[in-house]
Amino acid sequence: MAIGRAHAISLLGLEGAVVEIEADISNNLPAFVLIGLPDAALGEARDRVRSAAGNSGLPLPSRKLTVNLSPAALPKHGSGFDLGIAMAALAADGQVSTESVARVVHLGELGLDGRLRPLAGILPAVLAAVRAGFGTVVVPAGNADEAALVPGVRVVPVVSLRDAAIWHGAELEPIPLEALMPAVPTAALDDSGDLADVIGNPDAVEAMQVAAAGGHHVYLLGPPGAGKTMLAARLPGLLPDLTAEQALEVASIRSLAGIPARGGLSTRPPLEAPHHTASAAAIVGGGSGVIRPGAAARAAHGVLFLDEAPEFAPAALDALRQPLESGVIAISRATATARFPARFQLVLAANPCPCGNAGSRDGDCRCTAMAVRRYLGRLSGPLLDRVDIRMDVHRITAGQLRASAELPRLSTAAARERILLARASAAERLRATPWRVNAHVAGSWLRSPVGAPARGATAALDRALERGGITMRGYDRVLRLAWTLSDLDGTSRPGADHIGRALYLRKAAR
């Protein structure tokens, strides 16, 4: 009897490998043998496939069915192979066209009634299929929107196994069934607010714009109710639109995390705000079987906001040091290493002390000096060292609230225009380098003739270095901030004024 062949995709992180599914029917007592390193969920495909085929009017023969997943040494996880296994088995039995099945990648989990369930991670899987040279992908109808985001591929959405078999040439009457749809995720932190909503704190508003223009990480320190969360939630709105490639990467990571792309590819940068009880695995990603992306990977090309940063577990915070440095998260397990992009902008927010009132004008702080030190000491030096902007945020007073009605406030749209111009001039200057934003530039470039500030402008900074007020690394960070301030002002090189303001942004918080 003929051997049926189909293809599916095995995902490891965002990388996908093509898995060939072979099915052979031999004249022996009825059995369903699945070989090629399946995990428990995949091993159960045997029962799902047999029931689904029977209930779709395409019963598998009462013979021995051997299904082999190759490459045999690659561990395979999950239920996404069901459709491929079923099609290979039906092809081996001659119920559908063998050639047609072998040309196409099949993705989907089967229900016992023969309907296809949507999968997590359909976007990276379809991308991998295209990269491997396949032009057609059969996906569950519930994943059709997401699969269609990938350019250059023909997506065939099917509601049931019967529909898929008919597409491959089975002579059956279609039976209309209701398609199974993915669950709608619950809403996250709202990032649609406008910058003009922020009252007072002009320094912090300016600091957020500098952060957006230069890609700098931010540390906001202030009492409860000062507007730290409000400021952080407005940062994604200030960032430029994602490029098509970045948008696809962001959607792929979200797809892998089980958040389907709805209504097309979003070109807005994501905002992730994990709760402070999050574990290290929740932040960077993990899992023993399927390695899932954590909050830091989901925030790639966007903003990772850690509210109440000192309350996070030290291990979770320090796990961020690698992605902050390299822009990539590598999660290693015994069987494999998954890599996720993690070039995000970090926003840390903290109260100044356990009670939150230290240093504020309108509250009484009863914390001991030791308690305050211990509280802020939970943010490790190496982590804070990677944060360029440190900003105090204050509660607004009644006077400021009254005055705010007359004062002009910058809208997100206007601020973004200014930021786009600054980013464009930075990108133009850094054209010949691997960097695109000031925050990523290496120290050696800052001291080269093309990267150095205007002559004599660094006098104040040099003095601070001589006095030991800042380290050499801090010196470079001030220069990077000065470049961003200069870009925002439209000047060709940072002057003494820019250096002074950069020092303030760096040193404002205690």
Partner 1 sequence: MAAKDELGARGERLAERHLLRRGLTLLDRNWRCPQGEIDLVLRDGDEVVFVEVKTRSSVAFGHPLEAITAAKLARLRRLARAWCEAHPGAGRIRIDAVAVIAPRDLPAVIEHLERVF
Q: Which residues bind partner 1 (CB under 8 A)?
A: 27-30, 62-63
CB of 63 to partner 1, least distance (A): 8
Q: Three-state SS across 226-294?
A: CCHHHHHHCHHHHCCCCCHHHHHHHHHHHHHCCCCCCCCCCCCCCEECCCCCCCHHHHHEECCCCCEEC
**Nearest CB to partner 1, comparing residues 112 and 188:** 112
CB of 111 to partner 1, least distance (A): 21
CB of 21 to partner 1, least distance (A): 24
Query: How buried is 15 (Cβ within 10 angstroms: 0-12 exposed, 13-18 middle, 19+ buried)?
Result: middle
CB of 59 to partner 1, least distance (A): 9
Which pair of tokens denotes residue 225?
């109710």
Which pair of tokens denotes residue 437?
């934003």
- DSSP assigned state of 337: E
**Nearest CB to partner 1, comparing residues 62 and 186:** 62
Which pair of tokens denotes residue 274?
């994990």
CB of 166 to partner 1, least distance (A): 24
* Beta pairing partners, 26: 64
CB of 28 to partner 1, least distance (A): 6
Candidates 260, 91, 237, 252; CA nearest to 184 is: 260
**Nearest CB to partner 1, comparing residues 62 and 444:** 62
* Bond prior to 71 in cis (omega within 30° of 0): yes
Q: In this structure, are residues 256 and 14 in contact, taking their beta carbons and an 8 Å threshold?
A: yes
**Nearest CB to partner 1, comparing residues 41 and 53:** 53
- DSSP assigned state of 196: G
**Nearest CB to partner 1, comparing residues 33 and 459:** 33
Helices 202-214, 412-429: inter-axial angle, 10-degree rounding: 40
The total number of residues shown for the chain amounts to 510
**Nearest CB to partner 1, comparing residues 24 and 272:** 24
CB of 101 to partner 1, least distance (A): 25
**Nearest CB to partner 1, comparing residues 30 and 314:** 30
**Nearest CB to partner 1, comparing residues 51 and 136:** 51
CA distance 273 to 189: 7
CB of 163 to partner 1, least distance (A): 26
CA atoms within 13 A on the CB side of 445: 16
